[in-house]
Amino acid sequence: MRSVTNLKLKARRFLNYTVCALLPQYWSSSKSIFVMSTGRVGTETLARLFSLSPYVQAYHELRPQLLEERKKAYGEVWSKPSKYIYIFSRARAWPIAKARFQKRIYIETSARLTFFVPVIANLMPRSKFIYLYRHPGDVVRSGMRRRWYDRHSSDVHRVEPFKNDPFHNSWRNLDPFRRICWYWDAYNRFSLKAIKYIKNRRIFKLRSEDLFNLDMQLFKKLFQFIGVPTPSYQSIFEVLNARYNTQIEHEYPIWKDWDDQHRMILYSIAGETMKKLGYKL
C-alpha cells in the first residue's frame, strides 16, 4: 500500500514539475548554467566540481542525450529556432523544474547541448554559459585515441558538415585525422559565434588547461559566476586529482611530438579559430 502511495506521489510531483516548466514565465525566471565545448575537455570533472556545492544540481551526460538532435542542430538551429526550443524544453523540463523546486541551480556540463545554446539563451534569459575550450592538438589526439570517425559505433551521431560548409563535398574522402580537426574547429567556431549574441556577464570563458592548475582565484571566480560559495581547496584538489572517462583504444602522439605535416593540416583547417583562442601553431 505504501509503495502505491509513493508511486502516486512521485507521479503527481512529476506532473506538477512538468506543467510548471512548460509555462513561458517559468523558463524566463529559471536560473541554470550550461557548458559549451567540444567534449574531451574536462566536462565530467567540471560537473563533479560543481556537485561539491549543496546549492547546485549538476549533470554531465543527462538522458535523453539528444545525439541525433544535436547533429541536426549544428546546421539548423539558427534557421529553425522554434524546432530546437521545443526539443530542448521537452527534454529538460523535468530536471530543471526539479532542481528549482529543490532550490538548487541546475547545471549541465555535457557538450551535447552546445548547439542548443542560441535557443537556450533566448528561452532562459537568466541562464548563464561556460565556454570550456582546449588546445586542438589535445582534442584531436583524444579523438584519434578513441577512433572517432573511424568506424566508431557513435559516428552515426557525430556532427558532419552541412551543405554550406567548405568541407561538405569532400567529407567522404577525408581521413579521421582531418575530420577531427574539422570537428574541433566546427564546435569552437559555433561557440564563438553563439557568445556574440549573449551578454558578457552571462559568459565565463575557461581554458581546459587552466582548469587543472589548482588556482583558487580561478575557482573563486568560477563559483562566484555560478552564484554559490567556493568549496574548500581540499575538496577541489580531490576532484582534480582523479581522472574520469579515460577509455583508450590505441595510442597517438601528444601535440609536441606531431610532425610538421600534421601540424600544417590542422592549421589549414582550424588556424583561424586557433588564433582567436590564442593557440599558436
In the chain, the largest separation of any two C-alpha atoms, in whole Å, equals 70
Give residue 244's pLDDT. Answer: 72
Closest CA to 219 of 92, 49, 38: 49
Question: Contact, 17 vs 93, CB < 8 A?
Answer: yes
CA distances to 27, 65, 130, 238, 271 from 183, rounded to whole Å, are 31, 19, 19, 32, 13
pLDDT band with cut points at 50, 70 and 90 for residue 11: low
- Is residue 90 pLDDT above 80, yes or no? yes
- 225-242 pLDDT per residue, tens: 999 999 999 999 999 988
CA distances to 56, 62, 117, 259 from 84, rounded to whole Å, are 26, 17, 10, 41
Strand, helix or coil for residue 229: coil
Mean pLDDT (the chain, rounded): 92
- 107-148 pLDDT per residue, tens: 999 999 999 999 999 999 999 999 999 999 999 999 999 999
* Domains by residue range for the chain, with CATH: 28-276 (3.40.50.300)
